[in-house]
Structure 1
Amino acid sequence: MRNKFLGTGEAGYNPWRKLKVILSGLRFAVQYDFSVEYKLVVSAIVMVLAIIFQRWIDVQMLLLATGLVLMAEMFNSAIEALCDFVEPNQNEKIRAVKDIAAAAVAVIMAIWVIVVASDLMDLLSVLMQRWRG
């Protein structure tokens, strides 16, 4: 897609090309960023349990929290890679930018941990009730 502001890119809009770029970015994030990978795996496990026990509010909260934490992780990775590309040497301003990006991840990750832990405790409670009879 052509960037009107920068005058770069290819002319015309092709949704299939856009989808290919999106999937490529997601695949890259999962393959090369362990923090994205493990959050996706943990969330998927908890989500499957929530679906099995038909805990729809838990599914919605988990989808929202996971989406936000994955988005923050991917933005953080992109910002860090761009900073390292622009300035490969130690630089206080670049360090501050990276620290702020990491802090943004920490904020949403705290919320993700609370949601996952809360959902797990709720699901374990339901499982124990069903197991007891």
Structure 2
Amino acid sequence: MKRFVKGRLKSVKYVFKGMFKLLSSEHAIISQCIIGTSFLILGLYFNITRIEWMFLFFSIGLVLTVESLNTAIELTCNFIHPAHHKKIGLIKDIAAGAVGFAAIFALINAILIFYPYITKFYIEIQC
């Protein structure tokens, strides 16, 4: 049991090491974090509902997760085959496409959440 707990704690160390590495070196992750933080600030400003927070956090988490996996796939491809290769390029394009899907649907969620708040805010400013 002691060995099991020690192993899990060691795993958590690797989790935070990987997250720090992504946040400190990968421009796509840094950009997605800035965008996500902007939406979190909007959520605080507009005092969105609990359900809206759930969708917002899920969307941000999904984009960061898929972006992280895309980075891992790209690094693996570059390690396995450093020179340009048609099939490696296809693998990288598909991984990037997965990020695109996540980002598009996260944006749709953001629009569904914030559109009513922004239009109400705009109408109040006009009056």
Question: Is TM (by shorter chain) over 0.5?
Answer: yes
> Are 1:79 and 2:69 an aligned pair?
no
32, 38, 43: which is aligned to 1:45? 38
**Structure 1 unaligned residues grouped into runs of 5+:** 1-10
Please name the residue that 1:18 is paired with.
11
> Are 1:124 and 2:118 an aligned pair?
yes
Greater CA deviation, 25-34 or 81-90? 25-34
Alignment root-mean-square deviation, CA: 2.3
Please name the residue that 1:90 is paired with.
84
Greater CA deviation, 90-99 or 80-89? 90-99
Give the AA of the match of 2:42: L
By relative contact order (CA 8 Å, sep 6+), the higher-ranking structure is 2
**Structure 2 unaligned residues grouped into runs of 5+:** none
More helix by share: 2
Instruction: Give me the identity figure in percent.
Output: 22
Counterparts of 2:49 and 2:125, CA distance in 1: 17
Counterparts of 1:84 and 1:40, CA distance in 2: 25
Aligned residue pairs: how many? 123
Shift of 1:54: 4.0
SS in 2 for 1:14: helix
Please name the residue that 2:97 is paired with.
103
Give the AA of the match of 2:98: A
Counterparts of 1:127 and 1:22, CA distance in 2: 40
